[in-house]
Structure 1
């Protein structure tokens, strides 16, 4: 029953009820029958309400037999690798069969996200592009946004008819003299194979020359170099491809770096023989102290090595970090959970909670996919199938869940298959899970096999047995549970609950039904956990960007204190959780440790490194005020415990300076005029920030810049040199490289998953003519809200009341005494 109160199209008409009631009261006072007057007032009031046109908003599904389509054709410079006429040909093919518009954009920028949003007034968008957006709104955010408004996005995947390669150098801008620096040379190609010679020069002197045959889309070559002089230095990477290379401009990349003296850091430690101290003493100007002094202003970072909370001056550290200083806290046998940090003033600065608990860091999750025969069924009007929506939701979880999680995937009934528990810190692992999910199909025997959900749950349990920490299962199904198998499934769910495994039940529906409810048996399984099964329609996803994968994920995990475990000396491998962060990017971390401090990351912190298995946090960072804080929760590699000596040797040792450099930020002294400017892309203005106590004079290649004051000691300017290569900014070097349009080349494979998870599809050029319009027509439905008139109940009530009144009056007339009529007497 719809209990929503109606709205009125003509609400002012309702004002007539007041004088009507007043007239009725007057009529009663004049002696007219009270029941008659009340009846007439009610009848006339109902008629007035009907005249006011009451209505409610109803939801209806509309199928469009002639769907509107917007063909959006990307004709920017990077699309020269493909057939540039594909978009126009597609438009000519579609316009005679359905209303079709054509949009194109060109230039040296690719604002593809903006173009998708601009074309969203149509029900369907067909994007002919490489998907490499480099300007304006993020493309994947734009696809998600327009999908939420009812616009479906499709794309054409073109194969390049030309090959090309681009080169880029990635490194920090400001470097420290005497320290080994890493320059990562990134080469991208559009095709499947290319051979080239890579040459790297530093200050005009060759440091690397190598012939490379590349079959991957992206190849990274690391070049190590130590600068022994201060000031600006110039790094150039050049590739010389063999065979076809469509664009020549992106074969050279310039990188300008600025080398500064060793920054001063404070090491609060008594152990000057530890591997930690050896590393930092060789890289920085180190001052050692047993305590935290009151004045820290001279230091770029403070490194605290295995100190208890009582030994630290929290107020001094808070003021220092809040003002822009860097803080690195290294663990050990008297630090963190072993040093009374919990609920101390020092802990307030740190990105962790210093105690053990049931929460172990990232999520351990198994996605259990229903592939039984019933999932092959679909809606003929929409073209949607259960298995298609089930897989799309599973992929959305894989794409959007946190990088500190592990995910496994299992299927039951139609296909008996499962993966390992894979870390989501790896993009390759995400891609592997997505491929596995797409390959899952329903039982082709048409439902001959029942939905054996209990067997699927046991398979998920086996996967979770390989990891420690919080464990959960998400079941994604059409909700069809056979009554004969319900009791067995119920026992399995209750058993898993007793083992601390939480299960969330998701039921997929094909319609856009409002307030849809899950099937009873399926819902009964969810109620074992005190919840209802969650119903997901085609317009929603379980997990989307910028929101939790399930409601409640945004809350701080509830922590159950546990006794500090007895130390053991098993080995725990540590691995990066987030490989995109400055600290962990391109570091091949493979160290083993034998101990760690029990901590829990706080909300808002970034967990970068953890143990495997178990996912105990080892490196967690965040910003505090203007400064940066890193919590390194294993030891300095020395002493009787010697938890982590392997972290301080070989390739693993790069983690330590990378962590400290991140905490330092800009290693340059703050005195005098300090210029901050990144290298820029041709055609894209760059931003220059100058810090100075007096009005500075800054020149770009000898020409004075117009400065704007943005703070007490800060000034800004915008620059846009028109010549590629190296430029001088009052002694601070910058480089201008080829336009950003030429960096990412070839078809962006991430576009396929973004469109598929939003309900669209990517077609090859051979599929476009035969399938595109057919699929669009099958899915061309819209859910709209329309006014539903509610006059009829009021008119019917008025009629019934009037007829009732007439009938009652007639009956009363019949009951009145009538005169007795006698026969004439006999004469």
Structure 2
């Protein structure tokens, strides 16, 4: 084991310090040789000088054996080399490669190693990048970066930052036209109810018109011409018969690949779900629901609710609802409930201490938002370095939205979390918290999971909310688990996206798993609805979607303002999705047992819901009732479901029934009471039918995205890499030389010096004795006087 010490600022060490144990032995041996049988003519002085020189030689030899060295810091040229990652997948063929680039780099004097990260319909680019990273090393990616499997490019970029490695890329421009078509729409709908499908056409070099044709069950239902060669078109179709149906979109495109010119969607049409509508007045909502569901109207909830999927109660006092016990049992067992407000509901209907009111996600009265425990987690990692000023600005803006009654703490994080401020009431501590946020500095790798854990630790045992301010650029697989754990502990995460390269999907995933919400940087005012209180009141002119990333609110546009709302507050554990002009709850939801409960508390004096039944606002009402209904085949048995998939990718067929189904090409396993599952992997495109479930298999994901990925370019930026043109081999070689050179700690061996000194001493001593002989000062041939 080596031993080191610092002398005058220089590190000096021995590789084998145990060799110094030979010093006494060697000194003793030299002394014995010098004085053993010392009866010659040499004087004592001569023998002492001989002993000194030989001891010096022996000691220098021992030191040389011990391996002396010094560690110095200096500029070194290094050993430049390039790791070039090439992609032979079909999508990269569209944007073109750079044939001969490896040879050109080698001609520029830098050795090049080539590794392939994609081939045919497989583009595991993230895996390829991660596998070729080395500490302080670099890779050059010659790919479009469109990943179809394995870890994402963002995850590979995170690994590169951990290793202090850089990822560079070769800019690839599309060389030919390539289009693809896809359908987004419901996989299940009700008979007689219009179903809307969004058909999109995308690609690269799409100049020129392209014709779209959409067919349902072989019958053309829509055509459209995209003048720019790409875009989206909405198609609405009504299926009148129950059972499986097929929707096919096709484009007439003269491009490289033809398999992505067709997209299929399997749609299962079911009977309209039975919904019970309870009201004691004549309201327009009844007629609206009649167009969507099989509605049974009652003035009270009956004792027998079997056969219903959901119950809608509008403007009914608690003491006149009916059989609340039966309704509770119905919802606990998986039924749905929607409670619509009015002049006789909630605060005006005696809900406060009633059994019916206990089922609702809102309570009567204003609980006064702003008394929560909150921790702001600010991302100060290397990925956020260039945007730290924006991160701090957003963090300060978030703080400004929070009321004085909140207890607010702050953690900063990179690869670990740092306590910045412990939770204290903002009324006493706002200025100090602002100052500490302004002093934050950036650096280090990114570990959002560490930030979430640090925020949870700062909250302690008490429940609270984490407000995450980050760009979300972290591909670590531990992040979802950390978010899920916070959710299970009742700590939601409100994720605020910051920066031009925000990983929105990752932040939305964190919010979803924790039971929180995602906000863009410009949407922080919505925090006033949740945490503003009297000192930071929300002000608006119409209804506001608080969380647009849920099933109920996705795609919803609100223009109306009903004018009235019941005086309620969101209960702990419920989700506030839509708020009124002053931040009051309008739409809230939660789970009650196995069932789903939603409340819609905005209304107008005439009972028309103030425009909520007119487009585009009516979509919110439809989605709210659909949320309560859940699966429209939940009460049926002997039914099977399967999601659409792609060629080569698995889909799960779920069968509900008493006996295991016997289906060709599928092996079902029991996963629960009256529930069986089988995994099917289609090998070719088209529609397949298994155990009564029909699903579509579309073209592989390789043909669903073209052009160089923005995610790859973000990784290049975040790791400090560069982008090159295909003909810039010399620039790539120059970068490799620059990266290999640098100021490094270099260990210089002193063994040659020690041996040279030993030889020099020995020769000097021999020369001195020869001079004594030549001058006649001694008659001894040894030169000793």
**TM-score normalized by structure 1?**
0.60
Matched, 1:391 2:386: yes
Alpha-carbon shift at residue 263 of structure 1 (Å): 0.7
CA 685–65 in structure 1, closer or farther in 2 if over 3 Å, else same: same
TM-superposition CA deviations, 1:296-322 (whole Å, max 9, x none): 342212223245666667765554444
Q: Distance in 2 between matches of 1:545 and 1:752?
A: 26
Match of 1:102 in 2: 115
CA 602–149 in structure 1, closer or farther in 2 if over 3 Å, else same: farther
Indicate which of 324, 333, 340 corresponds to 1:323: 333
Matched, 1:165 2:207: no
Q: Distance in 2 between matches of 1:672 and 1:589?
A: 38
Q: Distance in 2 between matches of 1:62 and 1:342?
A: 76
Indicate which of 286, 289, 297 corresponds to 2:298: 289
Asked if structure 2 preserves the Cα contact closer than 8 Å seen for 1:301 and 1:327, the reply is yes
Asked if structure 2 preserves the Cα contact closer than 8 Å seen for 1:73 and 1:87, the reply is no
Matched ranges for 1:77-92 at <5 A: 77-85=90-98, 89=102, 92=105
CA 255–634 in structure 1, closer or farther in 2 if over 3 Å, else same: same
Indicate which of 653, 660, 670 corresponds to 1:695: 660
Match of 2:482 in 1: none
Matched, 1:254 2:214: no
Matched ranges for 1:255-274 at <5 A: 255-274=265-284
Matched ranges for 1:272-421 at <5 A: 272-274=282-284, 276-307=285-316, 319-335=329-345, 355-359=366-370, 390-393=385-388
Deviates more, 1:539-548 or 1:730-739: 539-548
Alpha-carbon shift at residue 714 of structure 1 (Å): 0.7
Alpha-carbon shift at residue 104 of structure 1 (Å): 2.4
Q: Distance in 2 between matches of 1:188 and 1:601?
A: 42
Asked if structure 2 preserves the Cα contact closer than 8 Å seen for 1:324 and 1:627, the reply is yes
Match of 2:633 in 1: 668
Alpha-carbon shift at residue 72 of structure 1 (Å): 3.1
TM-superposition CA deviations, 1:105-130 (whole Å, max 9, x none): 32423333333333344533433333
TM-superposition CA deviations, 1:411-469 (whole Å, max 9, x none): xxxxxxxxxxxxxxxxxxxxxxxxxxxxxxxxxxxxxxxxxxxxxxxxx9xxx8xxxx9
Asked if structure 2 preserves the Cα contact closer than 8 Å seen for 1:358 and 1:470, the reply is no
CA 118–704 in structure 1, closer or farther in 2 if over 3 Å, else same: closer
Matched, 1:204 2:197: no
CA 95–283 in structure 1, closer or farther in 2 if over 3 Å, else same: farther
Matched, 1:594 2:563: yes
Match of 2:623 in 1: 658
Q: Distance in 2 between matches of 1:247 and 1:64?
A: 48
Deviates more, 1:64-73 or 1:251-260: 64-73
Match of 2:233 in 1: 221
Alpha-carbon shift at residue 225 of structure 1 (Å): 1.2
Q: Distance in 2 between matches of 1:784 and 1:341?
A: 73
Matched, 1:147 2:107: no
Match of 2:400 in 1: 471
Q: Which has the larger radius of gyration?
A: 2
Determine helix, strand or coil for the equivalent of 2:246.
strand
Alpha-carbon shift at residue 676 of structure 1 (Å): 0.9
The gaps in structure 2 that reach 5 residues or longer are 1-72, 422-428, 460-464, 467-490, 493-526, 746-785
Asked if structure 2 preserves the Cα contact closer than 8 Å seen for 1:507 and 1:535, the reply is no
Q: Distance in 2 between matches of 1:614 and 1:69?
A: 60
Asked if structure 2 preserves the Cα contact closer than 8 Å seen for 1:682 and 1:724, the reply is yes
TM-superposition CA deviations, 1:231-271 (whole Å, max 9, x none): 12111111113xx5221111111112111111111223223
Match of 1:536 in 2: 441
Match of 2:251 in 1: 239
Asked if structure 2 preserves the Cα contact closer than 8 Å seen for 1:264 and 1:301, the reply is yes
Determine helix, strand or coil for the equivalent of 1:648.
coil
**TM-score normalized by structure 2?**
0.63
Match of 1:727 in 2: 688
Q: Distance in 2 between matches of 1:539 and 1:182?
A: 47
Q: Distance in 1 between matches of 2:314 and 2:639?
A: 31
Matched, 1:115 2:76: no
Alpha-carbon shift at residue 197 of structure 1 (Å): 0.4
Q: Distance in 2 between matches of 1:79 and 1:285?
A: 51
Asked if structure 2 preserves the Cα contact closer than 8 Å seen for 1:526 and 1:533, the reply is no
Determine helix, strand or coil for the equivalent of 2:631.
coil
Q: How many residues align?
A: 598
Q: Distance in 2 between matches of 1:676 and 1:750?
A: 34
CA 766–504 in structure 1, closer or farther in 2 if over 3 Å, else same: farther
Matched ranges for 1:776-787 at <5 A: none
Q: Aligned Cα RMSD in Å?
A: 5.3
Match of 1:645 in 2: 610
